[in-house]
Amino acid sequence: MAGEIQSIREHFETVSALRGARAVDARLGRRVAAVKRHQHERFGRDYASLMESPRYGAAARFFLEELYGPTDFADRDAQFGRVIPAMAHVLPSFVMHTIAQLTELHALSESLDQQMAQALASGEVDDRSYRAAWQAVGNREKREQQLTLLREIGGALDRHTRSSWLAATLKMMRGPAKAAGLAKLQSFLEGGLAAFSAMDGADEFLGTITRNERRWIDQMFAHP
């Protein structure tokens, strides 16, 4: 458990440092935001059928908005940082491992987005400039790691939905979390669990995303 706590803290420190760089460089901040908006639009197009699906819509929106959305998650991250040790006393190790993976994906995505922003030829982001920035950054290993983490987190959330104890624990935490100013964190945790529970099995959903993103990665690296 101590390893997960340390890992979570390190990932949040990475994200904080990236945000700090944007805070002192307004142009960089605007370009990162533009990269995120373009990605959000691409995901919205590519996964429109999933988002419109009664079965998969909630999970697709959770991924799009809570993991890859253009929103600044600084408040939620700060709430996480405040309660990491307390969470370790309440939640089992397998859930803390999933949270560590979530923060790892968060830090990795923020880092890659910032590298792409730095590689942009201008502040305008369209399909052509996005592709050029992606290919300038390269680093297929990190892109593969990003996809692997996404798949593993999705699989873990799917398994966690079968734990009635976890659902009951999160529900019990709702009042104390709101009183302690942790509403965004609570909403994130409950929302992810509820979205995956509604699917009644995530294999097809995760398989669709994995195949599509694998094809995207292959195309981006195969055609300069």
pLDDT, one tens digit per residue, over 21-60 is 999 999 999 999 999 999 999 999 999 999 999 999 998 9
Helix axes 127-137, 93-119, angle to 10 degrees: 110
Over the stretch 80-106, which tens digit does the pLDDT of each residue have? Answer: 777 777 777 777 788 888 888 988 999
**Structural domain count, the chain:** 1
Residue 118 has pLDDT above 60, yes or no: yes
- For residue 19, give its domain range: 2-222
Token digits of residue 31: 């370009």
Helix axes 183-197, 140-160, angle to 10 degrees: 80
Cβ 81 vs Cβ 224: under 8 Å:
no
